[in-house]
Structure 1
Amino acid sequence: MALLRCTAAAATTPPPQLATSPRRLRSLSWRRTLAPLHDHLLLASTLRHSSQGRHWLPPAVTCNAQTVVATNMAPGTPVRPTNILVVGATGTLGRQVVRRALDEGYDVRCLVRPRPAPADFLRDWGATVVNADLSKPETIPATLVGIHTVIDCATGRPEEPIRTVDWEGKVALIQCAMAMGIQKYVFYSIHNCDKHPEVPLMEIKHCTEKFLQDSGLTYIIIRLCGFMQGLIGQYAVPILEEKSVWGTDAPTRIAYMDTQDIARLTFIALRNEKINKKLLTFAGPRAWTTQEVITLCERLAGQDANVTTVPVSILKFARQLTRFFQWTNDVADRLAFSEVLSSDTVFSVPTTEMYNLLGVDAKDIITLEKYLQDYFTNILKKLKDLKAQSKQTDIYF
C-alpha cells in the first residue's frame, strides 16, 4: 500500500463529500490550508455553520508516495501536561485508561456522547464528563479547552456505519486538535491494518494513522492485537452457561493483552519523550488460535464446550451476498474480517524491543492463562457460595 497523503482543508470551506465506499477513501486529495482560528468559539461557529443544510463531512484521503511537510503552528495557551481528554471513555479500553490516569494523578476529562443513562461511574471515579459527539464536529472544540493530551480510544457502535465515527469523526477531532494547539495525541489502531485494505475498518485505521502523522501534531500511534476482556463474553460465559460457543476453522493467531496492561504501558509511553511521533505495537506474550482459547477455557471451567464451528468460506459468502443490498452494506463491511480470518495472519509481534523501549519487564505483563484462571477461579467460587447459600435457605416441611 502506498504512503498516504493527508492534508487539512480550509475550515471555512466545506470540503467535498466523502466517497460512498470506504474502499474509495483514497480517491480524492485535498490541500493543507488550515485557516488560522483565533479560539475554539470561532472554530465551533465555523463547523456549525458548515454543517447546517450542507451536511459537512471531513474530506476523503488519497494514497501516493509523496511526503507532506507539516505546517508550523503557533503554540497554544500553556496547559499542564496532566490535563488529558479521553475520547471513548466508556468502552472496554477507555475505562481502563481513565482509571489508570486517575490513579497516576492526571486530571481526566472524558468525552462521551449524550445518552439516556449517564456515565456516572466516571464521575464517581473522579473524572470530569463532557457531552459531545464525534459525528457532530461543532460539539468538539469546547471539549479541548485547557487540554494538553488527547487519548483517542473511540470507535463506532455496531449499529452505525463504520466510517461515521472511525473516519469522519476522527478527522474532525484531529482537525480540531490542530486548531486548538493540542500538545500530544494518542491514537489506538489495529495491528496489520496496513496489510488489509480490503477490510474497511482496517483501511480506515491506516488512513487515520497517516492523516495524524501528516497533521503536524505530536502523536503516539499504538497498534493493538486483541483484548483479553473480549474473550469472557465470547467463550468463558457461554461455556459456564452450557450454551453454544461460536468459532471458526481459521488458522489466525492473536496475541491478546489485558486492557489494564495496555493502559499502563500507554502512560509509560506518554511520559517518554523519545517515543513522540512513533508507531508502537502492543502484543501479549503468546498468540492463540480460537481453538486453543476454547480448549483453555474448557480446562479451567472443568467442562466441555458446545462448539459450533462456522467455516470461513460461509462468512465470505455472506459478505458477498450482503454487499448486493444498500441496507446491508454495513453488515458486509464487518463481515470483511472474514478476509483476514481466512489468511495465515498472525496478530502478534516480538515484544522484547518494545519492552526495552518502555523499560518494562516482560514478567509484569499478564498472560492469557493467568487472566482466565483468575476469572474462572473467582466465578466458580461465587457460584459455589451461591449454591451453598441456596441450600441453607431451603425450607423443608
Structure 2
Amino acid sequence: MKLLVVGATGTLGRQIVRRALDEGHEVQCLVRSFQRGAFLREWGAQLLRGNLCAPQTLPPALEGVEAVIDAATARPTDAIDQVDWDGKVNLIKAAKAAGVNRYVFISILGAEKYPDVPLMNIKHCTEKFLAESGLDYTILKPCGFLQGLIGQYAIPILEKQGIWVMNGAAPIAYMNTQDIARFAIAALDNPDTVKRSFPLAGSRAWDSNEIIRLCERLTGQDARVSRMPLGLLRTVKKILTYFQWGWNVADRLAFTEVVVGSEAIIAPMDEVYETFHIDSGEITTVEEYLGEYFSRIMKKLRELDYDREKASKKKLPF
C-alpha cells in the first residue's frame, strides 16, 4: 500500500515509518526540511517537501496515495491553532479530494473532556471534522509515550540532576511508540477499525513517584526530586494569558495541567487488542522499557570506565 506519513520526523511518526517499511508498504513522508528527514530517506522512504499550513503543497504529496497516517502536531515554536487545526483541515480536505481510501489520525485520550484546554479542544474538533469528512478513518488516542520518561526521569537520575514533579500528579498508562505504530499500521487493512476511535494505553498507570523509585532501583542511585505545587502552574498560566507573546506558552501549560490532574489517564484495552488482533503480552511495559534502557546505558558506562582505566595504566614511551 502506498502511504503518506505526516509528522514523520517526530517521536511517534518515525516509528510509524519504520514499521510501515518493515511490513512492505511504499512510504512517502511530508517534511518541511529534507535535512531534518534525511534519516527517513536512508531507511527507504521517499521525502516530499510540504507544509500543512501551505495547502497548495499537499495535492502533489497525495498523488497516488492510498492511505494517510497523520501523526503531526505543533512544535513548541508553532502556533497550535495553525498547525493542529488549520493544517489538519487542509490535509483532510486534500486527502478527500485526492481520493484517499484510508486516514489514520493520532489524537489524545480524553480530548473531549477538556474544551478549555486549546490543544485538547483542537484535537477533539479535528476528530469530529474527520468523522464528518466522508473518509474511511480510524482515530487512535494514546495516553502518553514511554520515550518521554527518558528525558524526564532517566537522564536526570543518571547525571545526578534534579527532577521536577508536580504534587498530586495523575498516573499515566504510558505506551511505547513502537507499539502505537503497530496499531496504526494494523488499522490500514482491518475493516473492523473503519470509522471508529480507539484508546491506546499501557498495562497500568504509573505515577511519578513509582517511576522514580523504579529508576533508582535500576540504577542504584538516589534521585534528587523537587516538587512543584499545581497551584503555581495555574498561576503562571494565568499570568501568561495577559501577554500576547505568552499565549502559546499558556496554551501548552494548560495541556500540562491536564496530564498532572487528579484523574488517572488510562483506558480499558481488551476490546482494542481483540479488534486489532494484537496480543497484549507483546506490548512493552514500563519495567521492560526502562530496564532495557538502563541496561544498555550502564553497560556502556562500564565499558568506558574500563577503557579509561586501561589507558591510564599504559606506560609513557619516554
Please classify the TM superposition score into its range, dividing by the shorter chain length.
Answer: over 0.9
Alignment of 1:33-182 (within 5 A): 82-114=1-33, 117-182=35-100
Q: d(CA) in 1 for partners of 2:256 and 2:49?
A: 35
Kept after mapping to 2: 8 A contact 1:312/1:341: no
Corresponding residue to 1:245 among 149, 163, 182: 163
C-alpha contact (below 8 Å) 1:312/1:338 kept by paired residues: no
Partner of 1:195: 113
* Letter matched to residue 224 of structure 1: P
Is it true that 1:347 corresponds to 2:275 in the alignment?
no
CA contact (8 A) 2:112 2:121 kept: yes
Partner of 2:290: 372
| Counterpart selection for 1:210 from 115, 124, 128 | 128
Contact 1:250 1:341 in 2 (8 A): no
**Counterparts of 1:343 and 1:392, CA distance in 2:** 51
Q: SS state of the match for residue 84, structure 1?
A: strand
Between the aligned partners of 2:45 and 2:250, the Cα distance in structure 1 is 37
Aligned CA RMSD, in angstroms, stands at 1.2
Distance 1:172 1:340 in 2: 28
Higher helix share: 2
Larger radius of gyration: 1
Match of 2:279 in 1: 361
Distance 1:100 1:318, change over 3 A: same
Contact 1:85 1:151 in 2 (8 A): yes
Distance 2:260 2:74 in 1: 24
1:200 alignment partner AA? P
Q: Name which of 280, 289, 293 aligns with 2:211.
A: 293
Distance 1:241 1:128, change over 3 A: same
- The corresponding residue for 2:187 is 269
Partner amino acid, structure 2, of 1:178: K
Deviations 1:316-372 (A, max 9, x none): 000000000111111111110244245322211111111111122211111110110
CA distance in structure 1 between the aligned counterparts of 2:260 and 2:165, rounded to whole angstroms: 13
Query: Which residue identity lines up with residue 105 of structure 1 in the other structure?
Result: G
Q: Distance in 2 between matches of 1:273 and 1:290?
A: 38
Q: Is the 8 A contact 1:252 1:346 kept in 2?
A: yes
**2:143 and 2:266 in contact (8 A); partners too:** yes
Q: In structure 1, how many angstroms separate the alpha carbons of the residues matched to 2:108 and 2:134?
A: 22
Deviations for 1:285-339, whole angstroms, at most 9, x for unmatched residues?
0111112111111111110111111111100000000000111111111110244
Counterpart contact for 1:316–1:338, Cα < 8 Å: no
Structure 1: which amino acid aligns with 2:99?
Answer: G
Shift of 1:396: 5.3
Distance 1:390 1:102, change over 3 A: same
Contact conserved, 2:172 with 2:205, CA < 8 A, in 1? Answer: yes
Partners of 1:342 and 1:106 lie apart in 2 by 38
Q: Deviations over 1:2-58 (max 9, x none)?
A: xxxxxxxxxxxxxxxxxxxxxxxxxxxxxxxxxxxxxxxxxxxxxxxxxxxxxxxxx
Q: C-alpha deviations, 1:89-142, integer Å up to 9, x for none? A: 000000000000000000000111136x34211111111011101111111111
Structure 1's consecutive aligned runs of 4 or more residues displaced over 3 angstroms after TM superposition are none
**Percent same amino acid among aligned pairs?**
50
Q: Deviations over 1:250-292 (max 9, x none)?
A: 2411100011111112222222111111101111001111121
Q: 2:223 aligns with which of 294, 305, 308?
A: 305
SS in 2 for 1:388: helix
Unpaired runs of 5+ residues, structure 2, are none
Distance 1:258 1:157, change over 3 A: same
Q: Provide the rounded CA distance (Å) in 2 between the counterparts of 1:341 and 1:218.
A: 30
Q: Distance in 2 between matches of 1:343 and 1:232?
A: 21
